[in-house]
Amino acid sequence: MKTRFDHEHFKAVPLVGILRHRGMLDYAGLVEAVLAGGLTTLELSFTHAGAAIDLAGLVAAAAGRLNLGAGTITTLARLAEARATGASFIVTPMVVAEVVDACVASGVPIFPGAFTPTEIVAADAMGATMVKLFPAVSLGIAFVAQLKATMPELRLLPTGGIGCADIAGWKRAGADGLGLGGGLFPAALLANRDWAALSANIRRHVAAWQALLLSSTA
């Protein structure tokens, strides 16, 4: 199944929700909660045996309304599996050259993970859609500010350990987007299928990002 990545939707809300869930998913319930919260882009980490099945279920439930991608892709075999089940974008935990090259060659948005300035610049030069700074909590907001001051052309997606209260700081430092995981998808809300509370939580995160956009245009 081939799905299209909607760049305009991602540009409007450049937040990647990262789902790491190993239990039974209510695909329709989750998708509707994510959409109601205003999120446009959702990554499912391929860290459990049923990840491909879960991604296919989410793709079917979303019916083109969400950008759905696969994370923790480290081999060409895993890339092929993710694409076959409908991933419209790919995320890696580090710079995996063969995966990045394959995505760039086929026009699939790719967000490779990087940590050092050398890795970040290399990933950007390879054609990354954005470079995922991971783990962002270890690098810190000042790192992004200094990097963007030197190389403003870099497109950076800090990911890892970022909460709702941190969004403003990362955005002001120059982050072009953010990867949000556990804070966006609390395990208890997923386990209880509390979709209303999940939507409200997602909405808070989206609003925190958009508030800065509104203030910059005021």
Residue 85 pLDDT? 94
Percent of the chain with pLDDT over 90: 91
DSSP E strands, 20-154: 41-45, 67-71, 89-92, 110-114, 131-133
pTM for the model stands at 0.95
What is the SS3 assignment for 8? helix
Residue ranges with strand state E in the chain: 15-19, 41-45, 67-71, 89-92, 110-114, 131-133, 156-158, 178-180
> pLDDT confidence of 215, banded at 50, 70, 90?
low
On whether the CB atoms of residues 16 and 205 are closer than 8 A, the answer is: no
Superfamily, domain 7-217 = Aldolase class I (3.20.20.70)
Type and span of the H or E element at 190: helix 187-192
Q: Average pLDDT of 164-178? A: 97
> Residues 207, 108, 32, 185: is their CA dihedral positive or negative?
negative
pLDDT band at 214 (very low <50, low <70, confident <90, very high): low
Smallest Cα–Cα separation from 73: which of 118, 40, 110, 124?
110
Mean pLDDT across the stretch 53-76? Answer: 97
Instruction: Express as a percent the part of the chain with pLDDT over 70.
Output: 95
What average pLDDT is seen over the chain? 95
The first and second tokens of residue 137, run together, are 């909590």
Indicate the pLDDT class of residue 71, thresholds 50, 70 and 90: very high
Model confidence at 60, pLDDT cuts 50, 70, 90, reads very high
pLDDT at 154: 98
Greater pLDDT, 217 or 144: 144
pLDDT of residue 27: 95
Contacts of residue 82, Cβ cutoff 8 Å, sequence gap at least 6: 46, 52, 55, 69, 70, 73, 90
Residue among 96, 144, 77, 87 at smallest CA distance from 117: 144
- Using an 8 Å Cβ cutoff, are 82 and 102 in contact? no
Average pLDDT over residues 141-151: 97
At residue 216, the pLDDT reads 58
